[in-house]
Structure 1
Amino acid sequence: MSPHRPLAALTDQAQQAARVAAESAGVRVSDEASLAGFLEVEQLFNTVWLLPPGESAIPSELLRSISHAGCNVTAARDQTGRLVGAAAAIVSPKSASMYSLIAGVLPGISDRGVGFALKQHQRAWGLARDLTEMTWTFDPLVSRNARFNLTKLGASAGEYAVDFYGPMQGEMNANDESDRLVAVWPLTSAQSTACSENRQAPIDGPSYGPSDVLGVGPDGDPVLVMAAGALWCRVPTDIVALRGQNPQLAAEWRRSIRSIFTDVFASGHIARGVSRDGWYRLAPGGTA
């Protein structure tokens, strides 16, 4: 690496942060380049998304093509060599941005920090290639993923895409409409750097009174409030379980959150963090 590259110092920081994250999670994170590895990654994603036989989240042939094109396929393996997490990203043409196609961690180990280690490896990979931004989409109703993206990593979201993928199969999606938020992760920002070293600013749910409530959710409790100079929107704590238990109620949540986010984003607000109990902080554009 040339010491004269503009992003050289930040790349060094990102690579060190990625090493620390991997060690903390007890995994070895590396770029995947073998056909056998791509087959393992395909199976891992199918397991994570609970897909039926014959369905694939992303085929191994496509993963091989992504890698061969010089884009990113990342694998995380535990001390026994077992694949426990993976991610894939492509480079956006004629820009300094990369686009994350998919990332997943085996069920049962999501609290170990494997997903965080994968993303920090991708951040370092991008910075080493003079890329300064990563984007991806995620389901706004899955509060755990939302908190990881917007609080743990330091990304933000200001775009709501209705039924982005069309109908989706598998137990996890339960044939729900595939609405997505578009996450934007500035790889060079002070916030992303702090987050990479586990120095995230805490996001606590709002304190509010009856006069602060702007709307109620399908469960009858406040879902949109104004507090501390920001709007706050609440999503269910476990939409995946709710889809299986009560698909009609899950669909009502989809329509409710779609309406709220569409209006709030149109007014110039941006999602800049999520609390542990599922409250999005929606700050005016340009506000931290």
Structure 2
Amino acid sequence: MTAGTTLRTVHDVAGLAAVADHLSDVWRTPRTAPPYPAEVLHSLVHAGGAVHALYAGQRLAGAAVAVLGADRSTYSLVAAAERGLGPVLKQAQRDWARALGARTMRWTFDPLVARNARFNLVKLGAVGTEYLVDFYGPMSDGVNDGDESDRLTVTWDLTAAGAPDEAEPHGPVLRRAPDHGPLVRRAGRHLWCRVPDDVVALRAADPALALRWRHAVRDVFTEAFLEGFRATGMSRDGWYTLTRTEATA
């Protein structure tokens, strides 16, 4: 736990309303139309889910929502925290899930957001196991508006340390990106795919270019996943590592 921060599970109506407001601020929606309304959060908690809230002093600095699934699995519906506090929230979700006997946790994220990919795949050691095309359909929040809602499902083994399977991009350039730089390299059982530096800023500045990136990366991932590749790492300069398992190599 970072000095000056506290973490608790939230059950009360006022606390859940504060979490709903926090999520509205993160996703840039009016507080009258949060991505997870307080009444929905209350229903999830009542059904056995968990809402974790992270405070820096008295200020809400992060929140996460998870529910219990079947076959010793759990699902993280949403998680958002200020810089440097994400690991605290995910560890809290992991501890909660493990206490219930869960062995895995799954969630989705936008595969074009490189910083989230690095957090999920490298810091946590989760693996990208499924590519979902336009998963939510059109979205009208202030972060995703104007784009298609492709998502990458990651699976986190709660029982293992999970070191990422990474290698430096090498091999021939197979495709070019919308910015005319390299998009795909491949060598052996590894394939690398580059994403933009900051897709959220790019969406705001040039939505058409952001959409071209979306389609280019989508094509790479959908083809690679059909071949048995999985997303196993993300470099600091925006290159995914996709690894083909020995069983399908």
**TM-score normalised according to structure 2 size:** 0.94
* Structure 2 contact 229–242 (Cα < 8 Å) conserved: yes
Distance change >3 Å, CA 158–CA 286, structure 1 → 2: farther
The match for 2:159 is 188
Cα drift, residue 186 of structure 1: 0.8
- The change in CA–CA distance for 1:49 and 1:205 in structure 2 (over 3 A counts) is farther
What is the CA-CA distance between 1:53 and the residue it aligns to? Answer: 5.0
Distance 1:201 1:285, change over 3 A: closer
> In structure 2, how many angstroms separate the alpha carbons of the residues matched to 1:136 and 1:234?
22
**Cα pair distance change 1:228/1:275, threshold 3 Å:** farther
Do the aligned residues in 2 keep the contact of 1:205 with 1:277 (CA within 8 Å)? no
Give the corresponding residue for 2:126: 155
Answer yes or no: is the 8 Å Cα contact 1:63–1:73 preserved in 2.
Answer: yes
SS class of match (1:237): coil
Q: Output aligned runs, 1:207-226, within 5 Å.
A: 208=170, 212-226=172-186
Whether the 8 Å CA contact 1:27–1:114 is kept in 2: the answer is no
Paired AA for residue 64 in structure 2: A
Inter-partner Cα distance in structure 1 for 2:186 and 2:167 = 14
Equivalent pairs, count: 247
- The whole-number CA distance in structure 1 between the counterparts of 2:203 and 2:148 is 11
Quick one: structure 1 residues 30 and 219, their matched pair in 2 at CA, closer, same or farther if it must change by over 3 Å? same
Contact 2:146 2:207 in 1 (8 A): no
Counterpart pick for 1:97 among 73, 94, 110:
73
The whole-number CA distance in structure 2 between the counterparts of 1:26 and 1:233 is 39
1:239 alignment counterpart: 199
Q: 1:167 Cα deviation (Å)?
A: 0.7
Match of 2:65 among 82, 88, 92: 88
Moved over 3 A (4+): 200-205
Question: Which residue in the other structure is 1:284 paired with?
Answer: 244
Cα separation, 1, equivalents of 2:246 and 2:200? 32
Q: Secondary structure at the match of 1:57?
A: coil
Question: Does residue 34 of structure 1 match 2:12?
Answer: yes
Is the CA contact (8 Å cut-off) linking 2:165 and 2:241 kept in structure 1? no
Within 2, Cα distance between the matches of 1:25 and 1:181? 33
Distance 1:120 1:49 in 2: 23
The answer to whether structure 1 residue 127 and structure 2 residue 98 are counterparts is: yes
Letter in 2 for 1:102: V
Larger RCO (alpha carbons 8 Å, 6+ apart): 1
**Structure 1: 5+ residue runs without aligned partners?**
1-21, 192-199
Give, in whole Å, the separation in 1 of the partners of 2:67 and 2:153.
Answer: 16
Aligned to 1:7: none
Q: Secondary structure at the match of 1:119?
A: helix
Offset of residue 70 of structure 1: 1.7
Structure with the bigger percentage of strand: 2
Q: CA deviation at 1:81?
A: 1.9
Distance in 1 between the 2:148 and 2:136 partners? 8
Instruction: Report deviation, 1:243.
Output: 0.2
Letter in 2 for 1:44: H
Change in CA separation of 1:83 and 1:98 when aligned onto 2, cut-off 3 Å: same
Looking at structure 1, the residues matched to 67 and 182 of structure 2 have their Cα atoms a distance apart, in angstroms, of 39
Change in CA separation of 1:181 and 1:47 when aligned onto 2, cut-off 3 Å: same
* Map of 2:147 onto structure 1: 176
TM-score (normalised: structure 1): 0.82
Distance 2:123 2:188 in 1: 21
Question: Could you tell me which amino acid in structure 2 is paired with residue 255 of structure 1?
Answer: H
Letter in 2 for 1:262: T
Q: Secondary structure at the match of 2:125?
A: coil
Supply the distance in 1 between the matched residues of 2:4 and 2:103 (Cα, whole angstroms).
28
- Considering fraction of residues, name the structure with more helix: 1
Query: Are 1:46 and 1:57, in contact at CA under 8 Å, matched by a contact in 2?
Result: yes
Structural RMSD (CA): 1.7
Instruction: Give the alignment partner of residue 260 of structure 1, picking from 197, 216, 220.
Output: 220
Q: Which amino acid aligns with 2:18?
A: E
The percentage of aligned residue pairs carrying the same residue is 46
